[in-house]
Amino acid sequence: MPSDLIVLTASNGENLKLAERFMKAAAAQNATAELIDLTQLDLPLFTPRVKAAGAGPDLETLHDKLHQTPRWVICAPEYNGSIPPSLTNAIAWLSVTGDDFRALFNGRPIAMATFSGGGGMELLLSLRIQLTHLGAQVVGRQLLSNNAKPPQDDTISDLVQRLLQMSPLAL
């Protein structure tokens, strides 16, 4: 049986800790959740040449889990004012799996959160633009945190609650 939501993390540092807090918030709301750490997956760097050879079993497993799970939370740090490479690479691979690059994302409720050494806003803006382009229902509220502004449990709980109230659009 698929989980109620998947929590993706694009780093093994503070954003992994943040993702674990989303897992606890989901459990507190009687929701099932699964954590996927993109830094542990063996996804080759996406290029058209590598695409012809395929990405391997980790991509298939990731795609299947994401396809079966109605809602996602993405926890990612800001890298150079944008989306981190592990997340960009995963999205690139996922968007070429199947005939329709939007198929996996289209109508999918997704919440965004960051713990960033820098500002974090550029990540959230870039990711919102990309996910919206792919057709996702991006939750209006987002979590921006850093050392000066640590993530608050009530914000995490609120994001989980909002996400759980959403359903994928029937397309």
Task: List the end-to-end C-alpha distance of the chain, in Å, as a whole number.
Answer: 22
Nearest partner of 84 among 30, 12, 157, judged by Cα: 12
How high is the pLDDT of residue 130? 97
143: in domain: yes
144: in domain: yes
64: in domain: no
84: in domain: yes
50: in domain: no
Higher pLDDT, 5 or 51: 5
How high is the pLDDT of residue 171? 67
59: in domain: no
* Residue 10: CATH number of its domain: 3.40.50.360
Nearest partner of 73 among 107, 125, 23, judged by Cα: 23
C-alpha span between 6 and 16 (Å, rounded): 13
Structure tokens at 30: 């009687």
Residue 10 predicted with pLDDT over 70 = yes
90: in domain: yes
65: in domain: no
Q: Mean pLDDT throughout 52-72?
A: 91
pLDDT digits (tens, 9 = 90+) for 99-136: 887 889 999 999 999 999 888 999 999 999 999 999 99
pLDDT digits (tens, 9 = 90+) for 65-102: 999 999 999 999 999 999 999 999 999 999 998 788 78
3-state secondary structure of 74: strand
Helices (H), 12-166: 14-28, 48-53, 57-68, 85-95, 121-133, 153-164
3-state secondary structure of 39: helix
**Residues across the chain:** 171
- Residue 130 CB coordination number (10 Å): 18
Structure tokens at 98: 């199947």
Residue 25 predicted with pLDDT over 90 = yes
The answer to whether the predicted template modeling score (pTM) of the entire model surpasses 0.85 is: yes
Percentage with pLDDT > 90 across the chain: 85
How high is the pLDDT of residue 53? 77
Structural domains in the chain (count): 1
Range(s) of the domain holding residue 113? 5-36+71-164
